């Protein structure tokens, strides 16, 4: 049997989509084929891509991963424009909420295969049912408190849900690289595998999950993700509003320093 490809698979610059004959969809986030750098364009693309993935019933299992030995490494702040502009932040706010909700709305088991750096939007990975991480993988949040803004885009919601509020707060207030083994001890990572083996292990798990009837697979994902989905709906819009206010203040303070 040959893999069946959908029309939307070739629609994105930063999302490579491949599906095998059994319906296992691999979602690889990338920048020009290498490690993914978050930009304004990428941010927008993810909303549409995750929505289409969630709507496509031909997807039986989803594997979420990165390219070039990493997940998402950093962010290009300049690509987003003036963060103190309400119009610009309105788009960031809406896309931030929609991307997480669209991942949460994927109604089949999701496996995150993490190699290297998951230093931006590790919350995407934490929306998976299972995270398989390589020995050398690290989790960090370089995009919020370390950069001078509130971690309000879902990073606290997902980490506090998976690891507990106390650990999440300490992790986000002093954002240092968190090794895969520690993330496993916290209950965030399900399995740690040798470097370069995260995808192959995710594929093994996908084959295992496919043995269950389709409605069972779909409804199990729906059941497991519901409590986290409820928190996303309650918290992330508010969190992004707080983040927007802090971004505006950061831009203001930078302008004042530049004028001195």
- Stretch 56-85: mean pLDDT, rounded? 96
Q: Are strands 110-114 and 117-118 parallel, antiparallel or unpaired?
A: unpaired
pLDDT grade for 5, boundaries at 50, 70 and 90: confident
Instruction: Tell me which residue has tokens 């991942």.
Output: 103
Topology of domain 7-259 in CATH is: 2-enoyl-CoA Hydratase; Chain A, domain 1 (3.90.226)
Could you tell me which residues come within 8 angstroms of residue 240 by beta carbon, excluding any fewer than 6 positions away?
Answer: 92, 93, 96, 97, 152, 153
For residue 167, how many other CB atoms are within 10 A of its CB? Answer: 17
- Stretch 27-36: mean pLDDT, rounded? 98
Does the predicted model carry a pTM greater than 0.75? Answer: yes
For residue range 239-250, list pLDDT tens digits in order: 999 999 999 999
Average pLDDT taken over every residue of the chain: 96
For residue range 109-131, list pLDDT tens digits in order: 999 999 999 999 999 999 999 99
Q: Edge-to-edge strand order for the sheet containing 72-75?
A: 36-38, 72-75, 117-118, 138-139, 178-179
Q: Say if residue 36's pLDDT is above 90.
A: yes
CB 127 within 8 A of CB 100: yes
pLDDT grade for 188, boundaries at 50, 70 and 90: very high
d(CA 201, CA 113): 8
What per-residue confidence (pLDDT) applies to 4?
67
Q: Where are the domains of the chain?
A: 7-259
pLDDT grade for 259, boundaries at 50, 70 and 90: confident
Residue of 56, 47, 71 whose CA lies nearest to 5: 56
What per-residue confidence (pLDDT) applies to 1?
43
CB 248 within 8 A of CB 84: yes
- Stretch 11-29: mean pLDDT, rounded? 97
Task: Please give the structure tokens belonging to residue 78.
Answer: 């300049």
Half-sphere exposure of 201 toward its Cβ, with a 13 Å CA cutoff? 20
d(CA 48, CA 209): 26
| pLDDT cut 70: percent of the chain above it | 98
Cα dihedral across residues 131, 102, 23, 65: positive or negative: negative
Could you tell me which residues come within 8 angstroms of residue 115 by beta carbon, excluding any fewer than 6 positions away?
Answer: 65, 66, 69, 70, 71, 133, 134, 136, 137, 195, 196, 198, 199
């Amino acid at each position: 049997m040959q893999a069946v490809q959908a029309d939307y698979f070739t629609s994105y610059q930063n999302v490579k989509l491949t599906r095998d004959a059994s319906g296992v969809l691999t979602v690889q986030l990338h920048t020009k084929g290498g490690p993914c750098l978050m930009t304004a364009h990428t941010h927008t693309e993810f909303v549409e891509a995750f929505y289409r993935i969630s709507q496509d019933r031909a997807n039986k299992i989803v594997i979420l991963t990165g390219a070039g030995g990493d997940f998402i490494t950093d962010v290009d702040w300049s690509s987003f424009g003036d963060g103190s502009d309400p119009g610009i932040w309105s788009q960031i706010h809406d896309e931030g909420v929609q991307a997480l909700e669209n991942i949460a709305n994927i109604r089949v088991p999701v496996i995150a295969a993490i190699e290297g750096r998951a230093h931006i939007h590790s919350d995407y990975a934490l929306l998976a049912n299972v995270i398989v991480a390589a020995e050398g993988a690290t989790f960090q949040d370089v995009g919020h408190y370390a950069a001078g803004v509130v971690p309000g885009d879902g990073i606290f919601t997902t980490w506090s849900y998976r690891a507990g509020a106390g650990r999440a707060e300490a992790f986000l207030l002093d954002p240092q690289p968190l090794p895969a083994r520690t993330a496993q001890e916290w209950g965030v990572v399900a399995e740690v595998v040798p470097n370069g083996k995260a995808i192959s292990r995710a594929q093994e798990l996908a084959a295992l999950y496919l043995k269950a009837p389709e409605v069972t697979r779909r409804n199990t994902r729906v059941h497991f993700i519901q409590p986290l989905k409820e928190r996303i709906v309650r918290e992330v819009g508010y969190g992004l509003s707080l983040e927007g206010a802090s971004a505006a203040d950061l831009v203001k303070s930078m302008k004042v320093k530049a004028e001195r």
